[in-house]
Structure 1
Amino acid sequence: MEEIKVSPDYNWFRSTVPLKRFIVDDDDSKVWSLYDAGPKSIRCPIIFLPPVSGTAEVFFQQVQALTGWGYRVISLQYPVYWDLMEFCDGFRKLLDHLQLDKVHLFGASLGGFLAQKFAEYTHKSPRVHSLILCNSFSDTSIFHQTWTANSFWLMPAFLLKKIVLGNFAKGPVDPKMADAIDFMVDRLETLSQSELASRLTLNCQNSYVEPHKIKDVAVTIIDVFDQSALSLEAKEEMYKLYPNARRAHLKTGGNFPYLCRSAEVNLYIQVGSDSQCFTH
């Protein structure tokens, strides 16, 4: 990993923040992996959910910056789930295990969709204080792959990786964006066939967010003006769904602004969340 020039902070992250693993389901194969940094006395941390291609490591720059400002940050990697309700139930069990009643959720792409579905899932007994949605979406039909969602489990890993890589930026990009893409490609290589297949299934199976169930949750939408996997149609749908959301637009950043435009993203995280809840 050292040769990937995303940031010198990565070595600090790997040497300072231990990786923890938890099993909260009856199925011992479902292991949640996470980095939990910052004061454990904080009972309402911010939790980061990665995109299809990501692992818990992809938010290392957010972990370093936010913990440096006194926040508690949890960056996690979810186990293999093939159904959205199954994911939401597992995530609820994880929060129960960590004794966290209320959390802020930052989700990138699929992670953002899962964050919205979890807020919806727990709306009768709210667990989500705020949502920060980065390059995310509210309806899986935008990918036009709902008909193939049930066949991903059959596909070999190399084909699944090819599908994911097809959404990465093509053509010339600035050095920071190039390093971010290299880093994400490296992370993608660490994912197993079942991890990738299950994530693509969640990403594409027919589902959408019911906004009336999460109308009381504060929402911040972070998106980019340059090339990303998210269509203009998907962005407009998010704006319609959350008309009162804070909007944070980045001129550039591609699919992974939390890596290549981390300073701006970290600032928007501060602005978009209630710092009192972070630090008490």
Structure 2
Amino acid sequence: MSALSRSEEYTSFRRSIPLQRLTLDPNSEHPWLVYDTGPKSVRCPLICLAPASGTADTFYKQLLGLSAYGYRVVAVDYPPIWKHDEWCRSFRQLLDHLQFDKVHIFGASLGGFLAQKFAEYTYKSPRVESLFLCNAFSDTTVFRRKVSSTFFWAMPSFVLKRMILSNMPSHETEPLITDSTDFIVERLENLERSQLASRMTLNCTSAYVEPQKLRDVSITIMDVFDDSALTASVKEDLYKCYPNAKRAHLKSGGNFPYLSRGSEVNMHLNLHLRVFDDTKYRAKHADAKTPEPCDDVDVSDGEEDGEEDGETEQAEAAVAAFS
């Protein structure tokens, strides 16, 4: 068992937040898995979508940390779905079932891509108020597996896992990043073959986002400056898609900063969401306390880049409110 799985924080999460199983398709044997915490009076919550290798409990630090400040946070695991449009239809069914008219979405890696596709899919009748994208991409062709993606459904589980693990760091990293990777690998080992195959298919089937359909969506892009699975060119392509997006920078954090830098990520999420506090699309209870100091965390406009060290020092100074 990984260090994070043994931690008191994760144990508290499992004891306090129940896992819901929601079957939306009577013909499917796989339900949506949902963790839902925070005030149920909030109708525009933050939805968390995990990377291909992750599960809903990947966001346990956000579920615990943000709900403590009055936010409603929902983390989901989706059943095996093989096409982007079908995933969007099923996700819309989930929002209808939970009676959410609009939502804010925190998407990591594949989860970030699917979040963009859903915003694009519903742009004529918007269901997405904002996006917070972490280590995300806007075009699946960067993975260069267009040919083999049609055969993922027939591949054995160990081959699919090996393909995902090949993007994990093999060199020694700092303890918190190592612990976050171990936690994700542990989740990966528990995924069924159909889940892995469908996620790899969604991740690698040729598709791209039409950013002009997201022009009315508030977007923050969060990246790390240390090693991650995405190249600098992939990150630049996402910036070009959303030149007016705000940028949240972390000096380090690896592929899974929401685990290795949970407090910093939560503060950036608070900064992203607090602009909706006085609107009907707020993600927290109207009387909830806002953590301070928020202004010290660096979130730059799309056209600006701050000094790397200064950004990190500012973020670290503000993290105390969420620690």
Distance in 2 between residues matched to 1:146 and 1:7, nearest whole Å: 39
Contact 1:6 1:176 in 2 (8 A): no
Corresponding residue number in structure 1 for 2:309:
none
Contact 1:53 1:188 in 2 (8 A): yes
Distance in 2 between residues matched to 1:44 and 1:90, nearest whole Å: 18
* Shift in Å, 1:172: 1.2
1:112-151 alignment, distance < 5 Å: 112-151=112-151
Distance in 1 between residues matched to 2:4 and 2:99, nearest whole Å: 36
Structure 2: runs of 5 or more not aligned = 287-323
Q: Which amino acid aligns with 1:29?
A: E
Corresponding residue number in structure 2 for 1:175:
175
Q: Which amino acid aligns with 1:55?
A: T
Contact 1:6 1:259 in 2 (8 A): no
Distance in 2 between residues matched to 1:177 and 1:46, nearest whole Å: 25
Corresponding residue number in structure 2 for 1:265:
265
Corresponding residue number in structure 2 for 1:85:
85
**In the superposition, relative to structure 1, how do residues 144 and 65 fare at CA in structure 2: closer, same or farther (>3 Å)?**
same
1:13-52 alignment, distance < 5 Å: 13-52=13-52
The alignment of Structure 1 onto Structure 2 pairs a total of residues equal to 280
Corresponding residue number in structure 2 for 1:62:
62
Distance in 2 between residues matched to 1:160 and 1:2, nearest whole Å: 21
Contact 2:37 2:63 in 1 (8 A): yes
1:278 and 2:283 correspond = yes
Distance in 2 between residues matched to 1:250 and 1:147, nearest whole Å: 35
* Shift in Å, 1:227: 0.8
* Shift in Å, 1:27: 2.1
Distance in 1 between residues matched to 2:7 and 2:246, nearest whole Å: 28
**In the superposition, relative to structure 1, how do residues 185 and 40 fare at CA in structure 2: closer, same or farther (>3 Å)?**
same
CA deviations 1:135-170 (Å, max 9, x no partner) are 000000011111211111111000100000001112
Q: Secondary structure at the match of 2:264?
A: helix
Larger Cα Rg: Structure 1 or Structure 2? Answer: 2
Contact 1:20 1:33 in 2 (8 A): yes
Contact 1:108 1:136 in 2 (8 A): yes
* Shift in Å, 1:26: 3.9
Distance in 1 between residues matched to 2:243 and 2:2, nearest whole Å: 42
* Shift in Å, 1:29: 1.8
Normalized against structure 1, the TM-score is what? 0.97
CA deviations 1:196-227 (Å, max 9, x no partner) are 00000000001000001111000000111111
Distance in 2 between residues matched to 1:141 and 1:3, nearest whole Å: 35
* Shift in Å, 1:28: 2.9
Distance in 2 between residues matched to 1:59 and 1:48, nearest whole Å: 7
Distance in 2 between residues matched to 1:57 and 1:257, nearest whole Å: 14
| Greater Cα offset, 269-278 or 255-264 | 269-278
Distance in 2 between residues matched to 1:259 and 1:91, nearest whole Å: 24
CA deviations 1:27-74 (Å, max 9, x no partner) are 232410010000000000000000000001100000000000000000
| Greater Cα offset, 5-14 or 157-166 | 5-14
Q: CA RMSD in A?
A: 1.2
Q: Secondary structure at the match of 1:237?
A: helix
Structure 1: runs of 5 or more not aligned = none
- Displaced runs of 4 or more, over 6 A: none
Contact 2:2 2:182 in 1 (8 A): no
